[in-house]
Chain A
């Protein structure tokens, strides 16, 4: 089934995936083609069939409730692109700083 350009852009936005114009066009063609092949599963009657999400053991295994050492903070932070005062630094998601400066 063919996907519209708008659908492809919407999905890319949901996936937080920045795609170029060329990539969006290629993706539209390729996803439409792949979905066309996948459509064959519509032939299968699954009205009375329950879904399988996981094939392993169904019982949840719990570990002993004991405190163990965590990873050292420095080891974890070593990979962060930006860090400050022992924390991972991220861009502000609210424009708080600007509002304060403006007032």
Chain B
């Protein structure tokens, strides 16, 4: 069977679960198929910073024994890529930064630990913008990631590696983090499903902190059902993260009924920013017709402070980042540039270790928090954040969920926005508001423009993951987008 490996990696996680438990497929066979694809394709894509070959093979053997004993859990034997901002005890964790080159965490992130306990297989650490700061993955200190649909386009960011790995079938599912759109936007650019859970739904313990009031870990997958399966495995309260919620998680897979008749879906006119491409607009409008055809009621709503979300974010996130990244000082871990005084050692270590975008954000954040500017920037941004959250709160009295384009454009060419930081920031204009309000959002493919994927996001009230997954799944069932594969995957 010459095409066997390619067929195996085309399976969804749900299909693989069934085949593994039926003993039609072994975890070791599945893992070897993925490792072989990584060997063959990743020089071209750049999705991985570190392949965990030995760990993966050993985990797969253990998974097969567990399945044989009848003790499998949903993630047992499922090959996963982990964004390299998640601490792993058995692999380096760098955040794609020189300052953490060689860092070996002494513990696992809680999400990693939960997947490990379920018997998941870790294929490797996936590429990202340095410290998850970026919208194109071009800020990785080690290498860019190329979009599997078109090698000259970016995969989006910051979780470009996890998104591209799933799109190119170099991972079955993956974990990323979303601070201002870093899961949904690359999911959209790469034509896969990406879920940002509610702030507090998933523990952030062991996630290298970027902006602590915004960061949230979530899955990438090729179907909504697979994303729901991963969320189930990682969600829930964690004593190591005081901001993780004790709210119980419902059974997300059971929510995927395919029936959205009578549901009220909000459409906000503010999500049609200048600069939205015609192809994106057309695909999104077709999707709205589809939601109507599925029996949902489309309701016009207002989110009047949407235009202020992006500038507000670029005060709040850098301010929090400047505090969080103070820990990288060359003393406790990471690279160091020794000088004659401690203060000069800090300055040199950080000056040499951080890349341009990280420096820009540390500077912006430090400025916004500095004496004389704190009220005008930081406090002002926190007040506008209140208004953005209130917009959503008001919307939930009228609708069950909101749909919007994930991004105003399809994946742009590599290098197209690197000279103008604010142009790069605009790539996240539609994803940032959900982070400011702490609400969940799932990005799902909704068509193509210029042979590149277009994506819509379904946003819902806090802890309404079951609702948005149900809507996204119902939509996905009626469209063939999930079945369309990038050439690199189909040819693999």
Contact = CB atoms under 8 A, between A and B. Distances in A.
Contacts, number: 163
A65 B426 CA distance: 46
A50 B384 CA distance: 9
Contact of A56 (B200, B307, B347): B200
B380 A53 contact: no
Contact of A31 (B330, B342, B352, B360): B360
A49 B438 contact: no
Interface string A36-54: 0111111010100111111
Given A15-B363, A78-B106, A80-B333, A57 B245 contact: yes
A30 B352 CA distance: 20
A11 interface: yes
A91 B348 CA distance: 14
Given A17-B362, A27-B359, A27-B360, A41 B367 contact: no
Contacts of B243: 54, 56-57
Interface stretch (B61-69, B116-124, B147-155, B309-317): B309-317
B295 interface: no
Given A31-B364, A40-B308, A61-B246, A80 B331 contact: yes
**Which secondary structure dominates chain A's binding surface?**
loop
Contacts of B347: 16-18
A21 to B, nearest CB: 12
A81 B360 CA distance: 26
Contacts of A61: 237, 242, 246
B383 A49 contact: yes
Contact of A71 (B107, B338, B360): B107
Contacts of B257: none
Interface in B334-364: 334-336, 338, 341-348, 350-352, 354, 356, 359-360, 362-364
A11 B314 CA distance: 17
B421 A30 contact: yes
Contact of A11 (B242, B311, B363): B363
Interface string A4-16: 0001101110111
Contacts of B389: 52, 55
Q: In the complex, which of the residues B245, B312, B382 has the most CB atoms of chain A within 10 Å of its own CB atom? A: B382
Given A40-B308, A51-B386, A71-B107, A8 B246 contact: no
A13 to B, nearest CB: 8
Q: Interface residues of A toward B: which range?
A: 35 or more
Contacts of B380: 41-42, 46
B359 A34 contact: no
Contacts of A41: 308, 311-312, 315, 380-381, 384
A34 B106 contact: no
B89 to A, nearest CB: 9
B9 interface: no
Interface in B402-418: none
Contacts of A15: 322, 350, 362-363, 366
A35 B350 CA distance: 23
A85 interface: no
A89 B384 CA distance: 44
Contacts of A71: 106-107
Interface of B: 103-104, 106-107, 199-200, 213, 237, 239, 242-243, 245-246, 305, 307-308, 311-312, 314-315, 322, 326, 329-336, 338, 341-348, 350-352, 354, 356, 359-360, 362-364, 366-367, 370, 377, 379-387, 389, 421-422, 425, 436-438, 462
15 contacts: A12-B363, A15-B363, A16-B343, A18-B344, A18-B347, A30-B421, A31-B364, A37-B422, A40-B311, A41-B381, A53-B213, A57-B243, A63-B239, A90-B342, A91-B342
The 8 lowest CB-CB distance pairs between A and B, nearest first, are: A18-B351, A55-B438, A51-B382, A18-B347, A79-B333, A46-B383, A75-B106, A56-B200
Given A17-B362, A80-B332, 13 more contacts: A12-B363, A14-B370, A17-B351, A17-B359, A17-B363, A27-B359, A44-B384, A54-B213, A55-B437, A57-B245, A61-B237, A79-B104, A79-B106
